[in-house]
Amino acid sequence: MDKLRIKGGHRLEGQVRISGAKNSALPAMAASLLTPDEVVLENIPLVNDIFTTRRLVRELGVAVEFEPDHSARLKAEKILSHEAPYDLVKTMRASVLVLGPLLARTGYARVSLPGGCAIGARPINLHIKGFEKLGATVRTEHGYVEAAAARLRGSEILFDKITVTGTENVMMAAALADGRSVLQNAACEPEVVDLAEMLNKMGAKVEGAGTPTITIEGVRELKGTTHRIIPDRIEAGTFLATGAITNGELELIDCNPSHLSSVTEKLRETGVNIEITGLGRMKVRGSEDLRAADVVTKEYPGFATDMQAQYMALMTQAAGTSVITEDIFENRFMHASELMRMGANIRIDGARAIVTGKTRLSGATVIASDLRASASLVVAALVADGITVVDRVYHLDRGYEKIEEKLRSLGAQIERLK
Ligand code: EPU
C-alpha cells in the first residue's frame, strides 16, 4: 500500500490547476447509460473513483475510451448487464448512481446495497423511495436492491432529507419517465446543476436545478452530447487550506470561485486573504496570525462537509477555540484522533469538535480513514515539524489527481513511498 512522506515547514507558492469535479464526473458517466448515442465528457479527473466507474459501466456494456486530454468517450449502444456487483459497490458507494439510468432505459436494475462506511451509515432509502414514487417495484434481497418498472411515470417526490446522489439518481430516472416529475427538497449542489445541464443537452427537460424544486418533463429518448465537467470545488478548497496553513501564496487556476463562497467567507473570517484574480482564478495568501472561527457543515450553499476535515487541520494553527459542528454525517471525525497524535488539541463532543490552537504539530505516522480525512492529514503535515507518513493513500487517490505532484510543484517536500 502506498504511503506519502511529507516533510513539513515549507511555505507553498505558485500556481496550481484544479481538476474536474469527481462528484460531477461520476453521475455524468452514469448518465451515459441513458442513451445509445456517444457521450463525450471533457475535464474528467483521472482519479481512482473514475477508474472504478469506468470498470462498472464497461461491465454494463458501455464502450469507454479515455483520451490523454482528460476527455472520455462513452457509448452505451446496448446494455449488456443490469447489475452493479458487490465488489465494485463496496469500493465505491457512488456505484449506486447507475440504478436510476438503468431502470429508466431498460426497466430493470440490480445494484448491491452499499453498506456503511467510515463516515456514517449512509443509507439509500431516499433513492429507493424516489424510484417507487416513479412507479418502480423495488425489492431488497440477498444484499441487493432490485428495481423494475415496465415504464416509469412522472410523480411528485418530496425528499425527507437533502441527498446529493439521491437527487441525481431520481433526476436521471425521471428524465425518461412518462410525464412530469417534481422533486421537492432537492439538493442544490453545483454537481446537481452540472448533471441537469448535461441531461438538457441530451434532450431532457429539466428546470430548477440549483433550487430545492426541480421539475422534469419526461421525454421518450435522449441523445448524445459533449459536456465539460465543472471544476472540483473540494480540491480547490483543499488547496486554499494548504495555502492558508503554510502562510503561502497560491493561485488556483481553472476553478469556479462562485462555488466556494462559504469556504472563502469562512477562511477570510480566520484572517486568510482570498482574492478573485480573473476568470476561473483565485489567489490565497496565508497569515501567521490565524484566528479561530466556528463552523457548521451544511448542504450547499452552506459549508461543505467535504471541507470539514481540512478546515479542522487549519484550525489547529489558529489562535483560540473553534467549534466545528458536523451536521451531515454522523461519524466524520476520524481524522481528529490522528491530528491529536500529531499534537493537536481537539475534544470531540457528539457532533462537535472543539479545537484549541495554536498548537505545534509534530510529524508522525498517521492513518487515513477516508478521502477527506486523508486530505486533512496532508494539510496538517505541511506545517508539522519533521516527517509525517500518511498511510493508506488509496483513500486520497480516489479523489485527488496527482496530489503529490501538484504539491511538489508548489514547493512542498512530499514523496510517494510504494
Ligand atoms: N441519506 C439518507 N438516506 C438516503 C441518502 C442519504 O438518510 O437515501 C443521508 C446520509 O446518510 C447523510 C445525508 O443524507 O447523512 C446526506 O447524504 P447524501 O446522500 O447527500 O450524500 P451522498 O450523495 O452519498 C455526496 C458526495 C459526498 C458528500 C455528500 C454530502 C458524491 C459521489 N458523493 O454523497 O462526497 O460528502 O454528498 O455533500 O457526490 C467525498 O467526495 O469525499 C464525498 C464523501
- pLDDT score at 118: 76
Task: Look at ligand 1, atom 11, and give the residue with the nearest C-alpha.
Answer: 122
Taking Cα atoms as reference points, which of 184, 189, 186 lies closest to residue 304?
A: 189
Helix axes of 48-60 and 22-31: crossing angle, nearest 10 degrees: 10
- The model's pLDDT over 101-137, given as tens digits with 9 standing for 90+, comes to 999 999 999 999 886 677 777 889 999 999 999 999 9
For residue 398 and ligand 1, the question of a CB distance below 6 A is answered with no
What pLDDT band is residue 1 in, cutting at 50, 70 and 90?
Answer: confident
* Mean pLDDT, range 25-47, rounded to an integer: 98
Beta-strand pair 320-325/295-296: parallel
Beta strands 144-148; 108-112: pairing state = antiparallel
For residue range 172-199, what is the model confidence (pLDDT) as tens digits? 999 999 999 999 999 999 999 999 999 9
pLDDT for 48 beyond 90: yes
**Whether residue 122 has its Cβ less than 6 Å from ligand 1:** yes
| 155/178 Cα distance (integer angstroms) | 9
Buried b (16+ CB within 10 A) or exposed e, 199-224: bbebbbebebbbeeebbbebbeebeb
Average pLDDT value for residue range 37-61: 97
Write the pLDDT tens digit of every residue in 224-254.
Answer: 999 999 999 999 999 999 999 999 999 999 9
Q: Ligand 1 pocket: which of 95, 117, 122, 310 to mutate (most atoms <8 Å of CB)?
A: 122
Whether the CB of 342 sits within 6 Å of ligand 1: no
- From 6, 4, 59, 5, select the one nearest 383 (Cα to Cα): 6
Q: Is 26 in the pocket of ligand 1 (CB under 6 A)?
A: yes
Ligand 1 contacts CB of residue 21 (under 6 A): no
* Residue nearest (by alpha carbon) to ligand 1 atom 4: 124
Q: Verify whether ligand 1 is closer than 6 Å to residue 329 (CB atom).
A: yes
Q: Closest Cα to atom 18, ligand 1: which residue?
A: 163
Instruction: Name the residue at shortest CA distance from atom 7 of ligand 1.
Output: 123
* 188 flagged as catalytic: no
Decide whether any atom of ligand 1 lies within 6 Å of the 120 Cβ.
yes
Residue 140's contacts (CB-CB under 8 Å, 6 or more residues apart) are 113, 128, 146
Ligand 1 atom nearest to CA at 304: 38
Cα separation, 322 vs 317, in Å, equals 11
Nearest atom in ligand 1 to the alpha carbon of residue 128 is 8
Residue 107 CA to ligand 1 centre (angstroms): 25
CA 320 to centroid of ligand 1, rounded, Å: 31
Give 171 Cα–ligand 1 centroid separation in angstroms.
16
Q: Could you tell me where the DSSP H helices lie in 215-329?
A: 233-245, 261-269, 308-315
Residue 171 C-alpha cell reads as: 433526476
Q: Is the CB of 372 under 6 A from ligand 1?
A: yes
Instruction: Please tell me what DSSP assigns to residue 331.
Output: T
pLDDT in tens, 379-410: 999 999 999 999 999 999 999 999 999 999 99
Which of 40, 79, 117, 219 does the annotation list as catalytic? 117
What pTM did the predictor assign? Answer: 0.98
Query: What are the angstrom distances between the C-alpha of 352 and each of 65, 238, 358, 380?
Result: 44, 21, 19, 20
The rounded distance, in Å, linking the Cα atoms of 376 and 372 is 6
Ligand 1 proximity of 226 Cβ (cutoff 6 Å): no
- Work out the average pLDDT over 351-364: 97
The per-residue pLDDT for 247 is: 97
**pLDDT at site 285:** 98
Distance from the CA of 302 to the center of ligand 1, in angstroms? 14
Residues present in the chain in total = 418
